[in-house]
Structure 1
Amino acid sequence: MRDHEPAPSLHGDRRLSTKEAAELLGVKPETVYAYVSRGQLSSRRVPGGRGSTFDAKEVETLARRNKRESGGSSGSGGELSVRTRITLIDADRYYFRGVDATELAARHSYEEIAEWLWTGRMRPGTTFSAPDTSVAAARRAVDALPEHASPTDRLRVAAIAAAAADPLRFDLSEDAVLGTARILIPTLVAALPPVRIGYRDEGSLAERLWARLSPRAADEASLRVLDTALGLLVDHDLAASTLAVRVAASARAHAYAAVSAGLGVLEGPLHGAASGLAHRLLNDVLEQGDAGPVIADELRAGRRIPGLGHRLYRGEDPRARALFALLEEIPRAEPALLAARDVVATTARHTPLHANVDLALAVLTASSGMPATAGETIFAVARTAGWIAHALEEYDERPLRMRPSGLYVGAKPPQPLPE
């Protein structure tokens, strides 16, 4: 019997040939056998033949599940979709578990928003603290890095060291992962070296982070901006780093490893490092007193103007709008705010791009005496909570579902052995 012919069943259950199964699933015949090797389908050899047959009900169930998990896309070049209850971005606004994220950040601390994202419950007054053993392990590892190591390097090493100090890290139950999250985030902050002399490690997470970013004492208004920035940046749907976290969680990597995967992707210049580019741009504008020549130099060099535009928002990034409103209440931020507005107005003559959160972060960091890398640090610490939320969600899904099939476009086999 040839493989494309349907096989009869001795038990009355309809069987499909490989070709029929592939057509129903919308994949190549080779992918059908990949499903078999991953335990997602069972096959039966055709008696006396070379082909296999598949239970029609199994194939139909898998096809429906694939369609659900791909958001109904055909898989023919459409973007990957993943079901999530965490963040919705819609009509220039975004929501955490259905609640407007900017309103949450205006009324609740970063830690409270993290708990909301993880559990769907608000815990007013919640704070995160880490045991001495976790902090000590992370600090030893970070202190061994070269002086020029980036903040993301330090955070990634701190996460790995904290994992090594936690013998229960492989427990993926919800309670265990939540316990890890509440310890890991303050451990990451504590592992970063303070830049203020004589600073004592106490206060809110925003206070502890501020002391690692700025040599200046933090006033209440500045801490409010930083804490709000952390809350606004907790999550933003399936950004590249978040997708990496879900892939790791799909393979049942523990929470520390999943966060490490996110930190690895975050370091790319098109993701977490974007605020640093905006910070340097603002400093150039402040030095020259005019955005015109600075923008001209950027365009002449063929570079995209950082801090402007976002593929998910037609208008102004709601995160930027919320931060700009708070920064307007801080007198020392006025020069950087005016420089940011000059950048937006100058580029608007040719391209109507709105400010995004990277430009707002740059105003915060540039006006607070922070280094250009500070925005990346804020982003990474904030997003760790979102990554944990996505890891928790992924742990409840079928293992290894984040496994797309490659579309081979190389030389057609069989090729001769290389000499």
Structure 2
Amino acid sequence: MKLTIERLGHLGDGIAEGPIFVPMTLPGEVVEGDIEGDQMLSPRILTPSPDRVRAPCPHFKACGGCLMQHTSDGFVAVWKQDIVRTALKAQGIETVFREIQTSPPQSRRRASLSGTRTKKGATVGFHGRASGTIVPIPACKLLHPDLMAAIPALEQLTVTGGSRKGEISFSVTRSAEGLDVLATAGKPLDGSLRIELAAMAERFGLARLEWDGELVAQHMPPAQRFGKASVVPPPGAFLQATEQGEAALLAAVVEIVGDARRVADLFAGCGTFALPLAAKAEVLAIESEAPMVAALDHGWRMASGLKRVMTETRDLFRRPLYPDELKRFDAVVIDPPRAGAEAQIEQLARSSVPVIAAVSCNPVTFGRDARILLDAGYALNWVQVVDQFRWSSHVELVASFSKDQRANR
């Protein structure tokens, strides 16, 4: 059957009339293939889009790590901006969009990889597209070269500590001191395995190796730099995917906060925003995970030239910051997980905080939360889309909200 692709879905699949979902296609393309249910799984491109390009990575068709290498950077930039526009339009919201900030190839500093034992050794890589098969990625164009250099170490860890029947998962993060590796679903630790793994960590120069929640080796604390502070996140802790993406998000947040003297950073993590902001403002950093709060606090205490940073371990979903607690702040930064922060946003909407810097990784929940703020008298001044998950359907953004304080008098 022949079909014409009408648009892209938010997950990157082409959509034809029906709807029929067609992977790795672009609007305007004419495709042919067999249809199973609502999908054409193996399309033949009869009329290619002018935006179609040759994928830079030889693993693209098999690997599930990237979705959009078959199209131009310009097309992806417009598409990602439109994902956010569409989410806002669904809430009746229009605003100014700044130029998208996109991280370059080979810049991902953290990744989740899988490993499995084979007869000849081990395979480490990403899962295949819509498959449980692990695809090796020796020529990956996504990961930072330091992460690529870690694959031999991960293969050896898989051979030594992986089960013959299952997969082992690795969370790998680049730091100035070396790689921070968190392994899960490996063999249970015993004395001999611990010794073998520790020796491997030393041989491959890993900064830290944690095995199913137990620290096996730490050659050097794997620190991350947040402004003037050096922070050692707990194993597996959240970190922005690229240095360039973090810098773009931070620059937008700093601009929104401006000259605020007292700032609340909600869902603060290990201090991505709180610690740089402390160069000019007193900050209250709130995070639900106690180990991340401890890392942030230690980083602040060891730094010099920063204003006071207070920390609090608090579940903002169940116990949001209320208006009487918010009234002492000149600005709020909020960076919730994908579910958004409806309970906290409702309290912010009732508050007198003049400026809000909202960071989001989900345009749909951001649109919902933005609608709540706008209905309470806030203005959405602009949105900055940041694409640090290159060649994926993932979108991040920063938004500037403000409230005219005369309306509260």
- Which TM-score band applies after superposition, normalised by the shorter structure? under 0.3
TM-score, length-normalised on structure 2?
0.25
The one of the two structures with greater contact order (alpha-carbon pairs below 8 A, sep at least 6) is: 1
Q: Which has the larger radius of gyration?
A: 1
TM-score, length-normalised on structure 1?
0.25
Q: Which has the higher strand share?
A: 2
